[in-house]
Amino acid sequence: MLFVRSLLFNIVFYVLTTLWCFGLLWTLVVPRWGVVGGVRAYMRSLAFFERLIIGLRYEVKGLENLPKDQPVLIGAKHQSMWETMKLHLIFHDPAIVLKHELLYVPLWGWYAAKSKMIPVKRGKRGAAIKSLVEGAKQMKAMGREIVIFPQGTRVAPGVYAPYKVGIAMLYEALEVPLVPMAVNSGVFWGRHSFIKRPGTITIEFLPPIPPGLPKETALFELEAVLEEASDRLVTAVGGPATLNPVAAGHQRN
């Protein structure tokens, strides 16, 4: 039954995504808010079919930890494609840090460019950091929530991956609160996994790290609290714990 539900959902997912991609073409010639609203509607439709077909729901905890009426930097745990499809349902106008190459994906990349995400070119580290900081400062000036995945890629539950320096540089340059966002999505919607499992995914916002700390201190604190919280959420639904993740990471450095 799980296979059948997953098969049906995957078919619906790709058909629905194709329809929305073509159906939103008109938003490319109207102001940016047209794209933002269209993407939000698409994500709501996906969430509906997740509940209907898979029995997959989600809850958001710790919203009181999000500063009100000011720009904020979100350091989000990235276990699955799933959380990228919920950011526009949680935040008012998120500016997401992504690989520059994604802007060249037909249709999808056009919408990402129109909605003004923060693309980062891979290559020379200094140039990449400079473009990241400059793009984030522009989004800060617009009052947007800036979302970055500090490990730089999807990391499965139970697997350790080091935190990149990019988020520390943003924290120092932007001088805004840094809010960790823990998830357990990888237990239900694994990376490259055909099977989607029923249950309730939890997104939890942790107390903000205030601006003004040394960037090394902020990065260490982010890694410690975000790994602990995500492990807690993962093991609560039967997923694997990461063995002493922060210590393991610093042993590798």
Kindly report, residue by residue over 25-62, the tens digit of the pLDDT.
999 999 999 999 999 999 999 999 999 999 999 999 99
- The Cβ of residue 249 has, within 10 Å, a number of other Cβ atoms equal to 18
Set out the domains of the chain in order of their start, with CATH numbers: 57-252 (3.40.50)
pLDDT for the residue 121: 82
Query: How do beta strands 199-205 and 178-183 pair?
Result: antiparallel
C-alpha distances in Å from residue 9, one per residue of 59, 133, 203: 20, 38, 22
Place of tokens 């296979």: 3
Alpha carbon 144 to chain centroid distance?
Answer: 15
Q: If pLDDT is split at 50, 70 and 90, which confidence band does 245 have?
A: low
pLDDT at 243 (0 to 100): 77
Spell out a b/e string for 62-73, using b for 16 or more CB atoms within 10 Å of the CB, else e.
Answer: beebbeeeebbb
Question: For the whole prediction, is pTM greater than 0.85?
Answer: yes
Determine the pLDDT at residue 160: 93
CA 183/CA 66 separation, integer angstroms: 16
Report how far residue 149's alpha carbon sits from residue 196's, in angstroms, rounded to the nearest whole number. 22
For residue 138, give the H/E element and its range. helix 125-141
pLDDT exceeds cutoff 70 at 253: no
Instruction: Quote the strand ranges of the chain, DSSP E.
Output: 56-61, 72-76, 94-99, 118-120, 145-148, 178-183, 199-205
